[in-house]
């Protein structure tokens, strides 16, 4: 079975630009979460979606937004990129209600110059 | 303030020994605590979950303990192997709906 997939693998953007990151969950998983991981730190929660609705939001500015599609895939959008947005962006999927373990994708490495 | 603390320094042990990693937290009341393994440049991999009403959980060579009074979890790898070398992340689940709060992780190096 395919695991969580993310695209692109790597991305280089300039300050002020916009970026869209994509995630496909494991088949049958209805919950998708996004995390930001800066080098040397643990992942930090950004968003969680379940059944296409936002269920949780972390302490990130409004420049960060996300959505989940009817096939449960998800996009993370970041506007007006800052140097500090450089990080590994991780997507995790879960079955959803009653299921707690999360399955992470390989991440998208975003570099902002 | 709310904090999750894991040993910031790398843990170096000899092959065959037991590795013990610590996760301490303050001002959280997690319903669940999870441990993940992360290799460089890759996403975390789920290892074990323990509930607030459980004291201990085992899976093959792995053992997790959870003390809600001390606000501490210990993660043990017995008969450690060089392939166990990785960063191990502690994560609290609180507030429902899969929101995980991660510690910074502890780097484990197992030497032959």
Q: Write the residue in B4, B43, B104 that is nearest to A107 by C-beta.
A: B43
pLDDT of B6 > 80? The answer is yes
Task: Please report residues of A whose CB lies closer than 8 A to that of B91.
Answer: 42
Q: Are B33 and B23 in contact (CB under 8 A)?
A: yes
Average pLDDT, chain B: 93
pLDDT in tens, B55-107: 999 999 999 999 999 999 999 999 999 999 999 999 998 766 678 999 999 99
Average pLDDT, chain A: 95
Instruction: Please give the Cα distance from B25 to B11 (Å, whole number).
Output: 20
Task: Please report residues of B whose CB lies closer than 8 A to that of A107.
Answer: 41-43
Q: Is the peptide bond before A95 cis (omega within 30 degrees of 0)?
A: no
pLDDT of B36 > 90? The answer is yes
Confidence (pLDDT) at A1: 61
Q: Which residues of B touch A (CB under 8 A)?
A: 4, 32, 34, 36, 41-46, 49, 89, 91, 93, 95, 97-105
Mean pLDDT of B11-34: 93
């Amino acid at each position: 079975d395919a695991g969580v997939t993310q695209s692109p693998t790597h991305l280089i953007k300039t300050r002020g630009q916009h970026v869209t990151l994509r995630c496909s969950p494991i088949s049958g998983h209805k919950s998708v979460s996004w995390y930001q991981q800066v080098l040397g730190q643990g992942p930090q929660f950004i968003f969680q979606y379940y059944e296409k609705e936002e269920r949780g939001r972390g302490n990130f500015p409004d420049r960060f937004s996300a959505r989940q599609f009817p096939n449960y895939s998800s996009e993370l959008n970041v506007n007006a990129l800052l140097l500090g947005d450089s990080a590994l962006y991780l997507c995790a999927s879960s079955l959803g209600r009653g299921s707690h373990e999360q399955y992470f994708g390989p991440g998208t490495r975003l570099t902002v110059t | 303030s709310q904090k999750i603390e894991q040993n910031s320094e790398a843990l170096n042990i000899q092959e065959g020994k037991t590795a013990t990693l610590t996760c301490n937290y303050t001002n959280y009341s997690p319903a669940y605590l999870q441990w993940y393994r992360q290799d460089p440049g890759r996403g975390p991999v789920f290892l074990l979950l323990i509930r607030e009403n459980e004291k201990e959980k085992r899976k093959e060579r792995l053992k997790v303990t959870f003390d809600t009074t001390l606000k501490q979890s210990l993660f043990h790898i017995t008969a450690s192997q060089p392939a166990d070398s990785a960063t191990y992340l502690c994560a609290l689940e609180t507030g429902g709906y899969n929101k995980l709060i991660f510690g910074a992780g502890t780097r484990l190096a197992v030497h032959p």
